């Protein structure tokens, strides 16, 4: 019978690495039902009857963030056969806090002590049998990065699903007033909790902590609610502390005793000492931001400079060769000229112009994945907290903004992790100013045509220009629409670690897949549509001159709006409109409407102005849909489109005007 396993753990505990080791390529990505939080699920590659669901990284089961809600709802509603709890063995005290909460759910559980190789290399030991006895659970030492202990872990998961554990489950790790309160409330709510799908112990614990959604779900009588309040007040009086602190203290007291009895380790590991030394520079109040700028400039130089250009040009030559062969094949087969034009000039040229930039996408995200895997990006969030607070946000907003360099849609979705509605809306408005990967082909084509000797400099200026525009716009929003202060920012800084090449590979695979899928769906359909609009007039007759086409007549009406921007032509308008479907379509459209290339239609200054507008205006339809879903308001969505497009027009016009004044 298939076994369903929920993979749960704190952030930065190696959960993603373990998931990739377990599932290999047998995984797929989607969203949890009804929410935009990402869901990963896959079959264990050497045990195909076990399905693993990777839950979001969380620190508790309190219903405060989207991740916590999703994890709790999945565990309670879906009732997996086993919880596989990943615990960072180098930071075991904090990680076990979630473990104690998971135990109260009454679901068979196995604890995977990850990073045991680091514990041993630092002279530490953990008494696994003793920990199993104390917890009443299977505890398996592993190293997900080195693929050590994984087969045994899978066997313990199988044993747990069959209920063959030698240990009795233990959830009664409290004493004193908390023990008395928990047992009293458990008896009161046991029946109501069972009907709602919870264990009595979990419900009682959450009621003591203060969980209004759960209390409403249990539908307790007024008399029961009064009794519970009286029990909680009595516990608080006896302990001299509040209800949440009482439960937290109870857990940490048990964890401290468990760790003292089972764990031997040095005061400071080599990894911690190394991290402290590196943070002396990388989080320094003076050097941190210059170092970050230098790192990103180096990445852009490699990506868009000699290395990226060589690989990109070679791949583009292969794509162009394939298109030429297809064109020759169609011609030799006697296919009519207009059909050849549709297939070659419309579909193949449009899709090929985007696919030719696949190597650049791979190189860029390879470096970004390395930075993320080492733990450096968490430091950047910490460093930028001060800067972001000046524009009314906290360092927590850095994560969605950083995701925006990959794709604006998940960046907007990631704002659900922000606890303040004000911060969420403000971050959603600013996220599109980050240069998503879909804009890279546009930058690359224009830089190759107009700034070949300074491509890396222009690319860097565009990326950081988007950040500066976001900062300036955020400052204006703080003084006008979003007055007030951001919520406090608390961030765990993981120790620096060597990146896992396997994790980087999986990340790159997802990016490549998304890029190729977009090329053969949205870009393909858009290229065909642009071909028809460029080659047909309003009587649906083929035209020899694109200036008499449907697209030209519509674009000519809008083109005067961009007179001050330096690209007031119907071709540029057509490209920008198609870019609303997907930014890569800007290049595929220009390749269709400008068969002679962009060199004769733009001046270098006009090209820079066009790039500025492309950088800043509303990313795509998918981003608008995500904005509508997260904002929950059509009014706010329209305001976001108007705000972003207005900023893009002003910045583009400013670039062109200043450039003219300087004589460019």
Cα separation, 463 vs 424, whole angstroms: 22
Q: 118 CB contacts (<8 Å, ≥6 apart)? A: 89, 90, 269, 271
Strands 38-43, 27-31: pairing kind = antiparallel
Per mean pLDDT, which of 18-27, 87-96, 166-175, 511-520 is the most reliable?
87-96
Does 656 have pLDDT greater than 90?
yes
Tokens of 147: 């693929």
- 119-122: which pairs have CB atoms within 8 A and are 24 or more residues apart? 119/89, 119/90, 119/265, 121/270, 122/90, 122/265, 122/266, 122/269, 122/270, 122/271
What is the arithmetic mean of pLDDT over 573-590?
Answer: 79
Q: Are 489 and 396 in contact (CB under 8 A)?
A: yes
What is the arithmetic mean of pLDDT over 374-396?
Answer: 73
What is the arithmetic mean of pLDDT over 609-632?
Answer: 83
What is the arithmetic mean of pLDDT over 410-420?
Answer: 68
Q: 184 CB contacts (<8 Å, ≥6 apart)? A: 231
Strands 109-114, 138-141: pairing kind = parallel
What is the arithmetic mean of pLDDT over 190-207?
Answer: 89
Tokens of 74: 């999945």
What is the arithmetic mean of pLDDT over 323-350?
Answer: 80
Looking at the chain, the whole-number percentage of residues with pLDDT higher than 70 is 88
Whether the pTM exceeds 0.85: the reply is no
Range name among 117-131, 158-172, 572-586 with the lowest pLDDT average: 158-172
Mean pLDDT estimate for the chain? 81
Tokens of 56: 């979001």
Model confidence pLDDT, tens digit, residues 235-268: 989 888 888 888 888 888 999 999 999 998 766 6
User: What is the residue extent of each domain of the chain?
Assistant: 3-162, 176-264, 293-326+353-492+499-661
Which residue matches tokens 């090329």? 519
Cα separation, 62 vs 475, whole angstroms: 33
| pLDDT value at residue 491 | 57
Angle between helix 128-135 and helix 243-262 axes, rounded to 10 deg: 150
What is the arithmetic mean of pLDDT over 387-413?
Answer: 71
Tokens of 620: 């795509």
In sequence order, which ranges of 432-582 are alpha helices (DSSP H)?
440-450, 455-479, 501-518, 524-535, 550-558, 570-579
| pLDDT value at residue 234 | 92
Question: 446: closest CA among 568, 565, 304, 350?
Answer: 304
Cα separation, 488 vs 389, whole angstroms: 10
Model confidence pLDDT, tens digit, residues 291-331: 888 887 788 778 767 777 788 778 878 888 888 898 888 88
What is the arithmetic mean of pLDDT over 535-558?
Answer: 80
| pLDDT value at residue 664 | 76
Q: Residue 126: enclosing H or E segment and its boundaries?
A: strand 125-126
| pLDDT value at residue 301 | 79
Q: What's the count of helices (H) and strands (E) in the chain, helices before strands? A: 31, 9
Domain 176-264 part of CATH 1.10.287.1770: yes
The better pLDDT of the pair 280, 157 is held by: 157
| pLDDT value at residue 56 | 83
Buried/exposed code over 459-488 (b: 16+ C-beta within 10 A; e: otherwise): bbbbbebbbebbbebbeebbeeebeeebee
Does 27 have pLDDT greater than 70?
no
What is the arithmetic mean of pLDDT over 277-294?
Answer: 84
| pLDDT value at residue 50 | 92
Confidence of residue 613 (pLDDT cuts 50, 70, 90): very high
Model confidence pLDDT, tens digit, residues 137-149: 999 999 988 889 9
Provide the 10 A C-beta neighbour count for residue 600. 7
| pLDDT value at residue 355 | 74
Tokens of 420: 């303040």
| pLDDT value at residue 150 | 92
| pLDDT value at residue 36 | 41
| DSSP-derived 3-state class of residue 581 | coil
| pLDDT value at residue 569 | 85
Model confidence pLDDT, tens digit, residues 559-571: 899 999 998 888 8
Cα separation, 227 vs 246, whole angstroms: 18
Does 350 have pLDDT greater than 70?
no
| pLDDT value at residue 611 | 93
Model confidence pLDDT, tens digit, residues 72-91: 888 888 889 999 999 999 88
For residue 196, the Cα-to-chain-centroid distance in whole angstroms is: 32
Burial of 603 (0-12, 13-18, 19+ CB in 10 A): middle
Looking at the chain, the whole-number percentage of residues with pLDDT higher than 90 is 19
The better pLDDT of the pair 176, 35 is held by: 176
Q: What is the dotted CATH code of the domain comprising 3-162?
A: 3.40.50.300
Q: Are 443 and 471 in contact (CB under 8 A)?
A: no
| pLDDT value at residue 484 | 60
| pLDDT value at residue 35 | 42
């Amino acid at each position: 019978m298939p076994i369903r396993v929920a993979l749960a753990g704190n952030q930065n505990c190696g959960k993603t690495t373990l998931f990739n080791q377990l599932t290999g390529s047998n995984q797929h990505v989607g969203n949890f039902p009804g929410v935009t939080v990402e869901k990963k699920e896959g079959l264990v590659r050497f045990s195909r009857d076990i399905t693993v669901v990777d839950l979001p990284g969380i620190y508790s089961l309190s219903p405060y963030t989207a991740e916590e809600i999703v994890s709790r709802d999945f565990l309670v509603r879906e009732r997996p056969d086993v919880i596989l709890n990943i615990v960072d063995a180098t930071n075991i005290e904090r990680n076990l806090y979630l473990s104690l909460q998971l135990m109260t759910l009454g679901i068979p559980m196995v604890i995977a002590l990850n990073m045991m190789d680091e514990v041993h290399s630092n002279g530490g030991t953990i008494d696994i049998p003793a920990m199993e006895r104390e917890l009443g659970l299977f505890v398996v030492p592993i190293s997900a990065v080195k693929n050590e202990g994984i087969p045994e872990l899978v066997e313990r998961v199988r044993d747990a699903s069959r209920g063959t554990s030698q240990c009795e489950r233990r959830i009664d790790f409290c004493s004193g007033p908390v023990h008395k309160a928990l047992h009293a409330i458990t008896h009161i709510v046991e029946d109501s909790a069972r009907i709602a799908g919870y264990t009595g112990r979990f419900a009682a614990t959450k009621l003591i902590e203060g969980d209004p959604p759960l209390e409403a779900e249990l539908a307790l009588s007024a008399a029961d609610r009064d009794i519970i309040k009286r029990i909680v007040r009595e516990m608080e009086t006896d302990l001299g502390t509040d209800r949440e602190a009482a439960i937290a203290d109870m857990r940490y007291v048990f964890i401290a005793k468990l760790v003292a009895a089972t764990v031997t380790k040095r005061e400071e590991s080599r990894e911690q000492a190394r991290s402290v030394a590196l943070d002396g520079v990388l989080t320094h109040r003076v050097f941190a931001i210059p170092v970050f700028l230098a790192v990103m400039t180096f990445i852009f130089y490699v990506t868009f400079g000699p290395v990226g250009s060589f690989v990109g040009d070679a791949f583009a030559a292969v794509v162009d060769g394939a298109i030429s062969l297809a064109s020759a094949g169609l011609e030799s087969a006697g296919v009519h000229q207009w059909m050849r034009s549709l297939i070659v000039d419309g579909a193949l040229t449009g899709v090929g112009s985007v696919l030719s930039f696949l190597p650049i996408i791979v190189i860029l995200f390879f470096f970004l994945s390395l930075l993320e895997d080492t733990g450096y990006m968490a430091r950047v969030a910490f460093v930028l907290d001060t800067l972001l607070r000046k524009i009314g946000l906290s360092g927590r907003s850095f994560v969605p903004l950083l995701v925006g360099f990959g794709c604006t849609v998940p960046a907007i979705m990631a704002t659900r992790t922000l606890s303040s509605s004000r911060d969420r809306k403000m971050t959603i408005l600013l996220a599109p100013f980050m240069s998503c990967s879909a804009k890279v082909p546009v930058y690359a084509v224009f830089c190759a045509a107009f700034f070949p000797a300074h491509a890396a400099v222009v690319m860097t200026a565009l990326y950081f220009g988007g950040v500066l525009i976001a900062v300036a716009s955020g400052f204006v929003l703080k003084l006008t629409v979003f007055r007030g202060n951001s919520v406090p920012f608390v961030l765990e800084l993981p120790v620096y670690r060597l990146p896992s090449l396997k994790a980087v590979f999986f990340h790159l695979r997802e990016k490549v897949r998304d890029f190729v899928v977009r090329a053969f769906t949205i870009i393909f359909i858009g290229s065909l549509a642009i071909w028809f609009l460029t080659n047909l007039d309003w009587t649906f007759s083929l035209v020899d001159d694109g200036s008499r086409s449907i697209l030209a007549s519509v674009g000519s009406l809008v083109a005067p709006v961009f007179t001050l921007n330096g690209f007031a032509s119907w071709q540029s308008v057509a490209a920008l409109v198609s870019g609303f479907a997907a930014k890569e379509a800007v290049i595929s459209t220009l390749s269709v409407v400008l068969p002679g290339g962009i060199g004769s239609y733009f001046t270098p200054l006009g090209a820079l102005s066009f790039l500025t507008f492309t950088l800043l205006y509303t990313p795509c339809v998918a981003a608008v849909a995500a904005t509508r879903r997260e904002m929950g308001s059509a009014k706010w969505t329209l305001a976001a489109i108007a705000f972003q497009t207005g900023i893009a027009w002003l910045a583009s016009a400013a670039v062109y005007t200043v450039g003219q004044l300087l004589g460019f």
